[in-house]
Amino acid sequence: MRSRQRMFAAVMRLLLKCLRLGRRRRFKLVRQVEQLWHYGHLCLRSLLYNSFTNGDVVLDSLFEPVYWLVDHVTRWFGVVFVALVIGLTSSVVAIVYICLLPLILQTYTPAWICWHLAYGHWNLIMIVFHYYMAITTSPGHPPQAKNDLTGVSICRKCIAPKPARTHHCSICNRCVLKMDHHCPWLNNCVGHYNHRYFFSFCLFMTMGCIYCSISGWDMFRDAYAAIERMKLLEKERLQVAANQTYYQTPPPTFSFRQRAFHKSVVYLWVLCSSVALALGALTLWHAALITRGETSIERHINRKERQRLQKKGKVFRNPYSYGSWDNWKVFLGVDVPRHWLTRVLLPSPHLPHGTGLSWDLPPCVMEQRAPLLAI
């Protein structure tokens, strides 16, 4: 009996030892896993740590594949977009000359005829000139030699000098002086030497579309009503043809020329109104940027800099802004009053102020500004 009790006690002690040993091993394994986890987490943070990392940087990193796709699609479809602009503009001009101009000459008074001919052709010339110049003019690129510039940063992609207000275009794969953006409708970057051409094209195209929409409103209503009448008469004609008797004749139908005329007027008005709304909003946006002396890229940079300095109790001032009125004079290249006619209201290929490498005070700015904070 005692031997059985001793055996039972020995077995129980052995089981307790095994349980303790298994628990110790399990706890040791858990501690090892936790140590490996903390070690890996520390290594990952040490490799990816950056004091400038914030939500915007993370979001840009996540959208990097989308940016890559957009860059390559824009690069290959730029020619298609340019052909589309030329085709749509040419179709509107053809409709005006073929359909509307004979009607204007027959119904309008001589004063209104002179007004439409003068304004319409002036607006058309300004659109064609500025679009051609915006496409063919290089936006400007910094020199590749490092000895030509002093006190500038280095582009991380070009490994070349990068002057102030210069940014790298991933589509053109080059740095652009005073880069605003890459425009697929121009198949070109908008920079220092063609920024004025781009804005002038947007402005005069918007003015031309508004002019066509307002002057063609009455003709659009008549043409739309005529098309609705065509559909109704066509429906009646089909009904009559299905139940035709000797005493019934089908209603008269519109000729091909009449159908083409009315549909062309509706197409003209809808296209011009749509472009006027979309391009007008873009023009107002760029006008606000010009008033502040900024580009599209600089607005994003200045906003971040303004927030950073605001946290420190400081005020940010744009070093390239000379005041609203002077900003427009610098942008348009107006040095004397007559330049408002010769350089703004008439086609002018004059160059902008400066070379885009340095930003000295333009001659049209009469008042010297106080030293400003640099970006």
Nearest-angstrom CA–CA distance, 100 and 86: 20
Whether residue 349 has pLDDT greater than 80: yes
Dmax (CA) of the chain: 136
- Considering only residues 203 and 318, tell me which one the structure prediction assigns the higher pLDDT: 203
At 330, is the pLDDT very low, low, confident or very high (cuts 50, 70, 90)? very high
Please tell me what DSSP assigns to residue 147: G
Q: What is the mean pLDDT of residues 221-249?
A: 72
Nearest-angstrom CA–CA distance, 187 and 280: 20
| 24 domain-assigned | no
Q: Specify whether the CB–CB gap between 146 and 162 falls below 8 A.
A: no
User: What six digits make up the tokens of 362?
Assistant: 């333009």
β-partners of residue 181 are 190
| 208 domain-assigned | yes
| 307 domain-assigned | yes
Domain count across the chain: 1
Percent of the chain with pLDDT over 70: 77
Q: Is 176 helix (H, G, I), strand (E, B) or coil?
A: strand
| 230 domain-assigned | yes
pLDDT at 314: 87
For 244-284, write each residue's pLDDT tens digit: 554 555 555 667 788 889 899 999 999 999 999 999 999 99
User: What six digits make up the tokens of 181?
Assistant: 């953006």
| 39 domain-assigned | no
Highest mean pLDDT, choosing among 199-213, 239-253, 358-372:
199-213
| 41 domain-assigned | no
Q: What is the mean pLDDT of residues 191-203?
A: 96
pLDDT at 179: 94
183 is catalytic: yes
Percent of the chain with pLDDT over 90: 42
For 110-160, write each residue's pLDDT tens digit: 999 999 999 999 999 999 999 999 999 999 998 876 665 655 788 888 888
Q: Which domain holds residue 304?
A: 63-357
Whether residue 176 has pLDDT greater than 80: yes
Whether residue 74 has pLDDT greater than 90: no
Q: Residue 98: count other Cβ atoms within 10 Å of its Cβ.
A: 12
Nearest-angstrom CA–CA distance, 317 and 326: 16
pLDDT at 371: 44
pLDDT at 325: 92
User: What six digits make up the tokens of 104?
Assistant: 């204007």
Nearest-angstrom CA–CA distance, 172 and 182: 8
- Considering only residues 191 and 67, tell me which one the structure prediction assigns the higher pLDDT: 191
Angle between helices 64-95 and 110-136 (to 10 degrees): 150
pLDDT at 246: 45
Of these residues, 175, 183, 189, 212, which one is catalytic? 183
| 45 domain-assigned | no
Please tell me what DSSP assigns to residue 108: S
pLDDT at 373: 42
At 33, is the pLDDT very low, low, confident or very high (cuts 50, 70, 90)? confident
pLDDT at 370: 46
| 89 domain-assigned | yes
pLDDT at 57: 66
Q: What is the mean pLDDT of residues 183-211?
A: 95
